[in-house]
């Protein structure tokens, strides 16, 4: 099989997976009495090649999430080169990993939305970078609901303070919350975490700056259907879309 045939076959595989994932998302939304159109599939493309991302884009996926700013900065132009500017302009790039403050300026140049704001100091750096770029950047506040000390995110009782810190900057717009539950083989074990994030989002809607909190970024390959049933608006899917991730454990 030559390179062209491999590309065609890979695109067909990804297109089939994407179709199946959307069917599962739609079914989960309908089980919960939700409009499936309110749920967006975000391709978690960490360590995936530009060619595979382009294959997913040509199969109809518009949203891609990267964990590392430097990796995204290197890959985004390569994806554009493969697709051409007209197709590439349709894509939206999301930061979905923990972000260091010194990467804020580069992140604002790469990403359309940032899912993991977890400190007031990061918010300040992002706000300054966004203001310099003449942008208003949508951000989600990352909440650590599992209590794992190694995991990014603020404790639930600290979210109002973080929301106030983000809302103090005109160049940032808080649009929702994001969380990562503790790893588990049982998707149902994540349900209480997802339900708590939804309840916390709803509670914050009455706080200053909380009126725009409509989004919930939660759910990955192993538990996205439960997340959709509990109100997810963004599900971050890597393995179920792209297959095994090169060189790393399957955690998205």
- DSSP-assigned states of every residue in the chain: --HHHHHHHHHHHHHHHHHHHHHHHHHHHHHTT--GGG-EEEEE-TT--HHHHHHHHHTT--EEEES-HHHHHHHHHHHHHHH-HHHHTT-EEEE-S---GGGHHHHHHH-SEEEEE--HHHHHHHHHHHHHHT--EEEEEEB--S--TTS-SB-GGGHHHHHHHHHT-TTEEEEEEE--PPP-S-GGGGHHHHHHHHHHHHHHTTSTT-TT--EEE---TTTHHHHHHTT-SEEEESHHHH-SPTTS----
Q: Thinking of the domain 3-242, which architecture would CATH place it in? A: Alpha-Beta Barrel (3.20)
Question: In this predicted structure, which of 52-66, 141-155, 217-231 has the lowest mean pLDDT?
Answer: 141-155
pLDDT tens for each residue of 149-183? 778 899 999 999 999 999 999 999 999 999 999 88
**Percent of the chain topping pLDDT 70:** 96
**What pTM value is reported for the model?**
0.94
Q: Is the pLDDT of residue 5 over 80?
A: no
């Amino acid at each position: 099989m030559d390179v062209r045939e491999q590309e065609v076959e890979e695109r067909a595989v990804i297109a089939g997976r994407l179709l199946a994932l959307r069917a599962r998302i739609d079914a989960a939304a309908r089980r919960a009495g939700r409009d499936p159109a309110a749920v967006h599939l975000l391709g978690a493309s960490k360590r995936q090649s530009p060619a595979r991302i382009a294959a997913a884009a040509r199969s109809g996926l518009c949203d891609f999430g990267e964990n590392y700013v430097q990796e995204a900065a290197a890959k985004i132009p390569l994806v554009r080169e493969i697709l051409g500017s007209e197709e590439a302009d349709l894509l939206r790039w999301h930061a979905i990993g923990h972000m260091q403050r010194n990467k804020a300026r580069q992140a604002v140049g790469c990403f359309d939305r940032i899912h993991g704001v977890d400190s007031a100091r990061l918010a300040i750096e992002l706000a300054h970078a966004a203001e310099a770029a003449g942008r208003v950047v949508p951000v989600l506040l990352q909440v650590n609901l599992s209590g794992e000390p190694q995991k990014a995110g603020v404790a639930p009782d600290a979210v109002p303070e973080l929301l106030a810190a983000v809302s103090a900057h005109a160049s940032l717009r808080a649009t929702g919350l994001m969380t990562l539950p503790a790893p588990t083989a049982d998707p149902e074990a994540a349900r209480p975490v997802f339900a708590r994030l939804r309840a916390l989002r709803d509670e914050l809607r009455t706080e200053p700056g909380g009126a725009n909190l409509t989004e919930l970024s939660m759910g990955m390959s192993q538990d996205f259907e439960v997340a959709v049933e509990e109100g997810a608006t963004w599900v971050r899917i890597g393995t179920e879309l792209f297959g095994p991730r090169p060189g790393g454990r399957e955690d998205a």
